[in-house]
Structure 1
Amino acid sequence: MARNIEEKISSLQTRRKGADRYAVLAADGVALESYQRKRYIPEAWEQRAGNKPYTRYALGAMQEVDPDYTRISMETAQRVANQLGKRVGGFNLEFRLQGSVPLNVHIRGVSDVDVLTLIDQQFFSYDPNGIKSSTYYPSSDTSLDQLTQLRREEESALKSAFPMATVDTSGSKAIKISGGSLARSVDVVPSHWYDHADYQASGALHDRGVIILDRKANKTVTNYPFKHIKLVSDRDVFTAGGLKKAIRLCKNAKADSDRDIALPSFDIAATMFHADQAALRMGAAYELAILAETQRHLDYLYSHPDEAARLYVPDGTRRIFDTDAKISALLRLSCEMDELFKAVVAEHDLFGLASSNERARQILNEARVQ
């Protein structure tokens, strides 16, 4: 937290209202009009906490992005999807959003959005151990061949549909399209369904996997984006909104840090998924309890690396901290949260009672903010 708090608050405001990506915002008249209408209207958190700027920053960093900005992100993704549906020949496609936007833990007013472009019915994979496996008919085609062909067609279709936009085909897993008339950058991810054994039994979307192309590695990768969204969202409901607030808090702290915190958004969400649920739930009445638990959880994980190493992402497909670089990033994020925590405690500890972190957390757990 080397930058002063007023700079951080300004950065938070700019990021939430989209001014940090004004050129992208200005590409679409509706998006620009929404920005111009709201740019000078303070959000609720900006008018709270009086002369406690660190508290005000912490509260703002927890909040969801204005729903109008999120709606525009989704509408832009749908616009791109509609063009692909019309222009990609040889494939029937189904479109689904994945990532921070549909999970509602994005922290930018102008947020990139990921669109899975799924081959529908014509080609998919299945778990041979599932209860319905005998009803499927194996194909002689491979996932790699199908997705490679789909990617080629989508690259061409995007360039044709949006001639003024930039179509970046250098990515291994996604085609990024931005600029022109698009109000957001959209990552297009060629993919197809994978009917896991759990899906064959339940028929529930969250049990269904997707297979995506890793072009540079010349292989495919299986993901479960809808399971991640469901599990995090269900736990957020149980914590009365505390989990998603903690995730946003971490992501904003990372964005405003002078430290290099190389921990992806997905892994930040996975890390906070394992925080104390009862402690996060306290945030429904005492909002700063979320900061207290976030600081405690990150500090505990870094202080107990063996415990951190055992944690899995919510969908169970891999460990969160599977590289030394991620452990280092955990330390930097923990340090950032330590500094914010101490600064907020100092604003509420009027009688100097915070003799330990435990006592400091108790102060935040009992603090009411006007």
Structure 2
Amino acid sequence: MWQKRATDQPYTRYCLGAMQEVDQDYTRISIETAERVGQQLLEGLTTAGISVQFRLQGSVPLNVHIRGVSDVDLLTIDSSFLRYDTGGLMARSGSYYPTDRTSLGVLQTLRAEAEKILKLRYPAATVDTSGGKAIAISSGSLRRPVDVVPSHWYDTVDYQSSNLERDRGVYILDKKVLTAISNYPFLHIYRIEQQDAVAGTGLKKAIRLCKNVKNDAIEDGKTINFPSFDVASTLYHCNLAGLKAGAYYELAVLAETQRFLDELYHNSEKAKSLWVPDGSRRIFDTDQKYEGLRTLSIEIDDLAKEVAKEQSVRLRYGSDVSLDDSRRVLMESVVGS
């Protein structure tokens, strides 16, 4: 257990802990809370004549959620309506039927009904309807915060050929600007899972590490406008061999994370060329996100130096600890049990 290791090395211990997945009971409660909210929505929406399905998206099904911070994203899908790419195999074979309904109309109705149901069925909870894309419900009898995301299916060209849900998209409502936005949450999960397998679980460790460091920096008063989805999307482009080294040299995950974020810090052109895993947009589509990356990079730099000093007497008593020296130490250090 990491909790019993590096007890006299607080930065190393923090790093090891920040990379770990949360315990199974914590995750189970998160999923059960979302399912409970889904059951209330199912009953209420069915009564209102709206047929729905539910899926989890985001950090919980991907297993990169962190304790005390990550909520559970519950896609609430109106299954009576979908959009499809007209160039797909099923569309060209006449498998779909036209309708006068629109994404915007369907999603606005679903959102309005879901808001009413949640307020009615969870009177002691906080139901925040101010968000553009999600209804946030928390407190009361709920043991985890849940984001309810009204949506409907989108059958992409790939889905029409593969019939694999990972290739299926959704449309979600942005209530603030009254528009429907396409989203590919299952493809995002699938592609990060694939990269993580190549990286020997190092990619997910790097994502959790950055999310924990980011949250702690925010609690210390720093501003980091870098959404968790984009943190994961950025680390997706790390050197996978560098992350895989963490299977034995655990601190190599920190070394590669620091190296890559530092590279992007100094190369805005490369950073702004990167795409999210599902290919739908560039990661750094606002200046605020790039500044958030730079702030996070500095935090990771500081952590890497402190952990390296705990692992190396030479660095501990050196007058000027460089990041290159810190990385070399981290890539060769074995933390005792």
* TM-score interval for Structure 1 and Structure 2 normalised by the shorter chain: over 0.9
TM-aligned CA deviation for residue 160 of structure 1:
2.2
Once residues 153 and 137 of structure 2 are traced to their aligned partners in structure 1, the CA distance between those partners, rounded to angstroms, is 23
Secondary structure of residue in 2 paired with 1:125: strand
Once residues 252 and 100 of structure 2 are traced to their aligned partners in structure 1, the CA distance between those partners, rounded to angstroms, is 56
Does residue 276 in structure 1 map to residue 252 in structure 2?
no
170, 174, 179: which one aligns with 2:139? 179
Does residue 241 in structure 1 map to residue 183 in structure 2?
no
Once residues 111 and 323 of structure 1 are traced to their aligned partners in structure 2, the CA distance between those partners, rounded to angstroms, is 23
Residue 269 of structure 2 aligns to which amino acid in structure 1?
A: D
TM-score normalised by length of structure 1: 0.85
Does residue 108 in structure 1 map to residue 74 in structure 2?
no
Once residues 56 and 111 of structure 2 are traced to their aligned partners in structure 1, the CA distance between those partners, rounded to angstroms, is 17
Alpha carbons 1:64, 1:104 under 8 Å: kept: yes
Which stretch has the larger CA shift, 314-323 or 176-185?
176-185
Does residue 307 in structure 1 map to residue 265 in structure 2?
no
TM-aligned CA deviation for residue 356 of structure 1:
4.7
Which stretch has the larger CA shift, 182-191 or 356-365?
356-365
Instruction: Provide the aligned C-alpha RMSD in A.
Output: 1.4
Alpha carbons 1:103, 1:229 under 8 Å: kept: yes
Matches within 5 A, 1:204-283: 204-257=164-217, 258=220, 259-283=222-246
Which stretch has the larger CA shift, 56-65 or 159-168?
159-168
1:144 is aligned to: 104
The total of aligned residue pairs comes to 326
Deviations 1:193-213 (A, max 9, x none): 000001001111110000001
1:62 is aligned to: 19
Unaligned runs of 5+ in 2: none
2:77 is aligned to: 118
Residue 210 of structure 1 aligns to which amino acid in structure 2?
A: V
2:334 is aligned to: 368
Once residues 62 and 178 of structure 1 are traced to their aligned partners in structure 2, the CA distance between those partners, rounded to angstroms, is 26
Which stretch has the larger CA shift, 190-199 or 134-143?
134-143
Alpha carbons 1:253, 1:336 under 8 Å: kept: yes
1:129 is aligned to: 87
Alpha carbons 2:124, 2:140 under 8 Å: kept: yes
Unaligned runs of 5+ in 1: 1-43
Does residue 340 in structure 1 map to residue 303 in structure 2?
yes
Residue 290 of structure 2 aligns to which amino acid in structure 1?
A: I
Secondary structure of residue in 2 paired with 1:181: coil
Alpha carbons 1:70, 1:109 under 8 Å: kept: no
Alpha carbons 1:191, 1:211 under 8 Å: kept: yes
TM-aligned CA deviation for residue 322 of structure 1:
1.1
Alpha carbons 1:64, 1:107 under 8 Å: kept: yes
Residue 85 of structure 1 aligns to which amino acid in structure 2?
A: L
1:74 is aligned to: 31
Which stretch has the larger CA shift, 270-279 or 109-118?
109-118
Alpha carbons 2:301, 2:323 under 8 Å: kept: no
Alpha carbons 1:110, 1:184 under 8 Å: kept: no
Alpha carbons 2:234, 2:276 under 8 Å: kept: yes
TM-aligned CA deviation for residue 52 of structure 1:
1.3
Alpha carbons 1:62, 1:246 under 8 Å: kept: yes
Secondary structure of residue in 1 paired with 2:284: coil
TM-aligned CA deviation for residue 251 of structure 1:
0.7
Matches within 5 A, 1:26-105: 44-88=1-45, 89-105=48-64
Secondary structure of residue in 1 paired with 2:148: strand
Once residues 329 and 17 of structure 2 are traced to their aligned partners in structure 1, the CA distance between those partners, rounded to angstroms, is 20
Residue 311 of structure 1 aligns to which amino acid in structure 2?
A: L
